[in-house]
Structure 1
Amino acid sequence: MPKMKTLKSASKRFKNINDGKFKRKQANLRHILTKKTSNRKRHLQKKILVSKSDTNHVRSFFPYM
């Protein structure tokens, strides 16, 4: 039986941390940045955890985790 493949787009967007959770980048930091305050942009730079309801969906993209 062939190996199962990881969804490559997911491997670029999510990073696994050891307790079964995933880190992700926040949205709203790509364009139209002039109207956003520096404080808001700085807080959007931080990585956050994927929500509990989405974790199983993200985990399905990684067959060997």
Structure 2
Amino acid sequence: MSVYLPLVFFLIVLGVMLLRRPSRTPDVSREASQQIDNLSERIRTLEAIITDRDRQLRNDIDGLS
């Protein structure tokens, strides 16, 4: 049993160090959130353009009648 004691101690210390290490997940999630916000803004812009062009086409078609 005494042969494994240093290994167990090392694994416990390593586990504690890994748990106390600051995670990098918030940086990734912030970047992903920013990308989602940018894509959402692009989608809103494209929807506005499509709606405006659709309205113009309908007005043009109504004007031909």
TM-score bin, normalised by smaller chain? under 0.3
Query: Could you say which structure has the larger radius of gyration?
Result: 2
Structure with the greater relative contact order (CA < 8 A, sep ≥ 6): 1 or 2?
1
Greater share of helix residues, 1 or 2? 2
TM-score, length basis structure 1: 0.23
